[in-house]
Amino acid sequence: MKNLVSALGRGGLKIVQEAGEMALFLLAALGQACRRPFRFRRLMQEIHFIGLKSGLIVLLTASFTGMVLALQGYYTLRKYGSEGALGSAVALSLIRELGPVLTALMVSGRAGSAITAEIGIMRITEQLDALDTMAINPLQYVVMPKLLASLISVPLLTAIFDVVGIMGGYLIGVVLLGVSSGAYFSGIVQSVVSLDINGGMVKSLVFGLTIILVACYKGYFTGRGAEGVSRATTETVVLSAILVLAWDYVLTSFFM
């Protein structure tokens, strides 16, 4: 029993410590954004990798999510005879909740693990040390562009997710199940307020930064050898998913 308590305490301390280290890492890396030279080309490369290359997977998940929301929503709403509210149900779920969360999870799965592997390999093959000896700060050259790219790409991807999801819902709800097109869209216009959209965007900013921060941090401080990198990659996927869902609860309760 005593062992259990002390183990819990140790685990808790470790989590707090790691969170603190990650915050310091974030500050150090973002601080590099104000240092010359500003690496515009590196930023573009990272936006290409984190943002553009996640486009297809986001389109796919978004359309299926919108379609299944419409299907489920129609089934439930029909019991109360209010199929007309389908548009607002689909749009609100997407904008407030599913858009930011699923986009972040997809980007994390596609880009996050790859970033950890990339930086981890740079660490174990001394490429980060080589940058250091060339008097180029690896935080500025490698990490900072990725963090900035996440702040730019993930909200945009989320916006795309929302729109495509709503279109997917339209396809099922209106085209297939026969809800009136006017009701679908006027439901959206009447129910979605700017707080919903702003809240969703704040979420996507926070989630995007979180997943890419975790990915960079785990890669930067990877353990030894190929095994160390593979463990870091796994930890990235698990930790980003947990953090996204935990942040989601915190932010939702904040924006209610």
Partner 1 sequence: MIELIDVVRTFDGQRVLDGINLTIPRGKITVIIGKSGAGKSVLLKHLVGLLKPERGRILIDGFDITQAKGRQLQECRKKFGVLFQGGALFDSLTVFENVAFPLREKTRLSAAEIAVRTRQRLAQVNLSQEMEDKFPDELSGGMKKRVALARALIEEPEILLFDEPVTGLDPPMTNTVFHLIAKTHQEIGYTGVVVSHDIPAVFQVADYVAMLHQGKIIAWGSPAEVQANPLPMVQGFIRGEVNFLEG
Binding site for partner 1 (CB under 8 A): 118, 121-122, 125-127, 129-130, 132-137
Pick between residue 77 and residue 124 the one whose CB is nearest to partner 1.
Answer: 124
Own/partner pairs for 123-128, CB < 8 Å, 24+ apart?
Answer: 123/219, 123/220, 123/221, 123/222, 124/222, 124/224, 124/225, 124/226, 124/228, 124/229, 128/220
Rounded to the nearest whole angstrom, what is the least distance from the CB of residue 125 to partner 1 in the complex?
6
Q: What is the dihedral of CA 175, 181, 186, 188, to 10 degrees?
A: 10
In the complex with partner 1, the residue whose CB is nearer, 106 or 122, is 122
User: CA-CA distance, 68 to 120, in Å (whole number)?
Assistant: 38
- Please identify, using beta-carbon distances, which residue of 50 and 70 lies nearer to partner 1: 50
- Cis link prior to 145 (omega < 30° from 0)? no
Residue 42 or 110: the one with the smaller Cβ distance to partner 1 is 42
Q: At what angle do helices 194-220 and 2-31 cross, to 10 degrees?
A: 100
* Least distance (Å) between residue 163 CB and partner 1: 33
Closest separation in Å from C-beta 38 to partner 1: 13
Q: Cβ of residue 140: shortest distance to partner 1, in angstroms?
A: 10
> What φ, ψ does residue 192 adopt, rounded to 5°?
-85, 120
Q: How far is the CB of 45 from partner 1 (least distance, A)?
A: 9
Backbone angles phi, psi at 179, to 5 degrees: -65, 145
Nearer to partner 1, 116 or 210 (CB): 116
